[in-house]
Amino acid sequence: MRNGGVSFWWQQVGLPVPTDRLEGDASCDVAVVGGGLTGLWTAYYLHEADPTLDIRVLEAEFAGFGASGRNGGWLSSELAGSARTYAAVAGEDGVQRLRDALRGTVDEVIGVAAREGVEADIVRSGVLTVARSEAQRQRLGGKLTAGQVADRVRVAGAVSGHFDPDCARVHPARLVSGVARVVRERGVRIHEGTRVTSVSPGTVVTERGTVRAPVVLRCLEGFTAGLAGHRRDWLPMNSAIVVTAPLTDAQWGDIGWDGAELLGDEAHAYCYAQRTADGRIAMGGRGVPYRFGSRTDVDGRTQDRTVEQLRATLTTLFPSLAGVRLEHAWCGVLGVPRDWSASVAYDAATGLGHAGGYVGSGLTATNLAGRTLRDLVLGHDTDLTRLPWSGHRVRRWEPEPLRWAGVHALYGLYRAADRREDAGLGRTSRIARVAHRVAGR
């Protein structure tokens, strides 16, 4: 089994060689820091709105090196934040507007991909979430009976389920490399192999020169902590994925997973899975949640015990796949703000903006954030700029070693809560409620 190499998705399409490195100082109208989907969508929509803008993306490795090229491929309409937090600033109506905007964004991404010729194995397949205990059933509140769940996918021990049709399966590396291609074709320069070391009004300092721009947008999500002055903004939360060898028709028949629906569960240490276009299961979960000092991995290599945990989850859900070969494992970081809620912000006085902190639901949210940043930068007052995550402020994470100890304790609590619920507790464990309070969710 291969471990690392950025991700299975990138190995499948071929790892890109960084191009167009910055050569000395430069100036432009808009400097975008980070070449993941947040940065690329922002560049795409800004250029579309005003093709005369000189926009440059500054990327440490290659476009899509981060979470955007490593994720589980769930183009979902999940909130990317806490409903309670957004309701506190914008009421229930604000939360609903954000939900509706994210639902619409699934269509937007599918539409742009079709128009621009981005082939990313996209299928609007919906997502099936299963409950495997009474406590999970109560939390999920799904309408599907055990029998209806089994009609879609035969998950061992499923007692109920929920099906959300507003979700699509994608191939992450194909999507992000496609968007990068389109942006380049429009004339936006993506300076790869160009690491940014600091950002201030009008100035982006990189290891290869300084870029002056009246607008500077920080789009680093899980890598934000690596930038001077931002170590405690968003926690780089780790997530890991394993992918199986292609399953045989008999194996697919055994588990009854005929369609391309995404699959997840309602455990506190939840898992997420997709049936890939070439007939494998890619299954992800938390693994080791956080590295001391907000460090990130180098090339996606994950710990052996995380691989074993994911193998155990796979065979718990599908006992008939006990002997199946895992071909690849990798991990990546996503950004978690202290209140578990994403934000998009721009200050016209300084020209500084940012977007991210999508807590694991960034694939759709990056597109909505890109369009919102466009409106904010252009000074347009729109429905997007009035969404509750726009200008949302959040306090910083605790300093180390509190941060490390807190996050590891938290995930210990979630694992303990899952064990008690799996043992037949019959309701959500109090331990999980305590963990939620500690987390600030």
Ligand X SMILES: Cc1cc2nc3c(=O)[nH]c(=O)nc-3n(C[C@H](O)[C@H](O)[C@H](O)COP(=O)(O)OP(=O)(O)OC[C@H]3O[C@@H](n4cnc5c(N)ncnc54)[C@H](O)[C@@H]3O)c2cc1C
> Which residues sit at the interface with ligand X, rule CB under 6 A?
33-39, 58-61, 65-68, 70-74, 76, 195-196, 219-223, 226-227, 239, 241, 272, 284, 331-334, 356, 358, 360-364, 366
Locate tokens 């790892």: which residue?
15
- Listing DSSP states for 31-46 in one string gives EEE--SHHHHHHHHHH
Question: Measuring CA to CA, how many Å separate 267 from each of 226, 256, 319, 329, 386?
Answer: 31, 22, 18, 21, 33
128 vs 227 by CB, closer to ligand X: 227
Q: How far is the CB of 181 from ligand X (least distance, A)?
A: 15
Q: How far is the CB of 83 from ligand X (least distance, A)?
A: 17
342 vs 431 by CB, closer to ligand X: 342
Q: How far is the CB of 196 from ligand X (least distance, A)?
A: 4
361 vs 428 by CB, closer to ligand X: 361
Q: How far is the CB of 62 from ligand X (least distance, A)?
A: 7
Locate tokens 């968003």: which residue?
234
Q: How far is the CB of 433 from ligand X (least distance, A)?
A: 26
Within 10 Å of residue 158's Cβ, how many Cβ atoms? 25
What residue is closest to ligand X based on CB?
A: 362
What is the rounded distance in angstroms from the CA atom of residue 163 to the CA atom of residue 129?
Answer: 6
Strand arrangement, sheet containing 26-27: 26-27, 209-212, 203-206, 196-200
What is the rounded distance in angstroms from the CA atom of residue 102 to the CA atom of residue 362?
Answer: 10
146 vs 288 by CB, closer to ligand X: 288
137 vs 236 by CB, closer to ligand X: 236
Find the distance separating the first CA and the last CA of the chain, reported in whole Å: 36
343 vs 428 by CB, closer to ligand X: 343
60 vs 413 by CB, closer to ligand X: 60
Give per-residue burial for 170-206: e unless 16+ CB within 10 Å, then b.
bbbbbbbbbbbbbbbeeebbbbbbbebeebeebebeb
128 vs 431 by CB, closer to ligand X: 128
Q: How far is the CB of 339 from ligand X (least distance, A)?
A: 16
Give per-residue burial for 413-424: e unless 16+ CB within 10 Å, then b.
bbbebbebbeee
What is the rounded distance in angstroms from the CA atom of residue 197 to the CA atom of residue 206?
Answer: 5
* Residue 7 · residue 171 · CB < 8 Å: no
Q: How far is the CB of 376 from ligand X (least distance, A)?
A: 16
Q: How far is the CB of 80 from ligand X (least distance, A)?
A: 8
What is the rounded distance in angstroms from the CA atom of residue 164 to the CA atom of residue 127?
Answer: 5
